[in-house]
Amino acid sequence: MMVELKVNGRPYRVEVAENELLVDVLRYRLGFMGVKQGCGEGDCGLCLVLMNGRPVHSCLIPAWRADGSDIVTVEGIGSETSLHPVQRAFIDQGAVQCGFCIPAAVLIGKWLLDRGLAGDRETVRWAYRGLLCRCGSYLRFEEAVAQASRGG
């Protein structure tokens, strides 16, 4: 079946199989390598994208269910010459270690910032509960989000 997606502001028309997952379409068909396949069960959070403004696990969503959706991946925020405030804060706070979970972690930070929730530490901790970071950078994620919320 044919689905229409807007990914990072750009329209895409993609033919998908009934059982094809959004994570696979985004990563392997459209080339958004920041969308990672981890557990395939929605537990690790590595496949997180913003769909219609909300964080979702793209490994749990059949691609056809995303038809007409507006999707943001980490590739859609900031650029090499103009980083998003959350990206800048992640660098400043040393929150980037191995990098595997960072695309999802940055998107969570962006979502928190966009919703005006980044200043509340408890809410920030809650938002990161579904992301598995093997390096244990959670406190640095929290500091980065706090820095971005202060505008610095």
53-95 confidence digits (pLDDT tens): 999 999 999 999 999 999 999 999 998 899 999 999 999 999 9
What 8-state DSSP symbol labels residue 1?
-
Q: Kindly report the length of the chain.
A: 152
| Statement: residue 152 has pLDDT above 80 | no
Predicted confidence at residue 68, as pLDDT, reads 98
Cβ(52)–Cβ(138) below 8 Å: no
Four-way CATH pick for 2-75: 3.10.20.30, 1.10.3720.10, 3.30.1490.190, 3.30.365.10: 3.10.20.30
Q: Where along the chain do the CATH 3.10.20.30 domains lie?
A: 2-75
Q: pTM for this one?
A: 0.95
| 100 and 134 Cβ atoms separated by less than 8 Å | yes
Taking the CA atoms of residue 107, residue 119, residue 84 and residue 21 in that order, the dihedral angle to the nearest 10 degrees is 10
Q: What is the pLDDT of residue 80?
A: 85
pLDDT at 136: 87
| Every domain range in the chain assigned CATH 1.10.150.120 | 85-149
| Cα Dmax for the chain | 45
What distance in Å separates the CA atoms of residue 142 and residue 135, rounded to the nearest whole number?
14
Q: Are 139 and 105 in contact (CB under 8 A)?
A: no
Kindly report the CATH class assigned to 85-149. Answer: mainly alpha
Straight-line distance from the first to the last Cα atom of the chain, in angstroms, rounded to the nearest whole number:
45
Over the stretch 113-131, which tens digit does the pLDDT of each residue have? Answer: 999 999 899 999 999 999 9
Query: What confidence tens digit (pLDDT) does each residue in 16-48 have?
Result: 999 999 999 999 999 999 999 999 999 999 999
Beta bridge partners of 5: 12
pLDDT of residue 69: 98
